[in-house]
Chain A
Amino acid sequence: GAVVSQHPSRVICKSGTSVKIECRSLDFQATTMFWYRQFPKQSLMLMATSNEGSKATYEQGVEKDKFLINHASLTLSTLTVTSAHPEDSSFYICSADPGNRGYEQYFGPGTRLTVT
């Protein structure tokens, strides 16, 4: 089956620093990837849609200058949390849609970010 990886799986950083999270589709290409954030005991909140070769589409209320998304190739999207603060501590999950038809998406294992 289709596999999506994320790196790192866990990261601890100091307040004010930036953190980059990678999302890779290992055995398929994806023109569209999605980034979600999940706080404890809450559901997944869609942050943005990452489009290969073009700008990401951010959901309402998500700061595009704080959460930088780059989808440089058909198998890689990156999310950079800039100037991280403790309130950015969360579980970040990416997913990839191989057919860009909305009925099939594969999730990465998630990245646990802790900002101290």
Chain B
Amino acid sequence: GQNIDQPTEMTATEGAIVQINCTYQTSGFNGLFWYQQHAGEAPTFLSYNVLDGLEEKGRFSSFLSRSKGYSYLLLKELQMKDSASYLCAVSLNTGGFKTIFGAGTRLFVKA
């Protein structure tokens, strides 16, 4: 079956750096997404990795290792508004494309 694991909750301090890990076991891998979601709202796209390595975009960076089935999202210079759920999602090509989501990591940023 398809499986995506990420921590349930994390807490970090304003101004600090936090790394949210995601491991996956899937077939038909077509890339990995990270989304941010605030309660009651739709997910907001953060990143998409299909090749190994680190992609940096402002305060957010995302890393992928396909051989290890591993990714992380790195958030720098944390701000209070970064308190949200972060969803790791895998795009699959199983004769058609679809995206499945991990359970999400709730990040609490404290002052």
Contacts and interface: CB of A to CB of B under 8 A. Distances in A.
Interface in B67-98: 85, 87, 89, 91-93, 96-98
B42 A103 contact: no
Interface in A79-116: 91, 93, 95, 97, 100-105, 107-110, 112
Contacts, number: 58
Interface stretch (A12-20, A44-52, A61-69, A70-78): A44-52
B98 A102 contact: yes
B50 A45 contact: no
Interface residues of A, number: 27
Interface of B: 30-31, 40-43, 48, 50, 85, 87, 89, 91-93, 96-104, 106
Contact of A110 (B42, B50, B87): B42
Contacts of B103: 42-43
A32 B97 CA distance: 9
A102 B100 contact: no
Q: In this complex, which of B43, B89, B91, B93 has the most chain A Cβ atoms within 10 angstroms of its Cβ? A: B43
A107 B48 contact: no
A51 B99 CA distance: 15
24 contacts: A34-B98, A43-B85, A43-B103, A44-B101, A46-B98, A46-B99, A46-B100, A46-B101, A49-B96, A51-B96, A91-B40, A97-B97, A102-B91, A102-B92, A103-B30, A103-B31, A103-B48, A103-B91, A107-B42, A107-B43, A110-B40, A110-B41, A110-B42, A112-B40
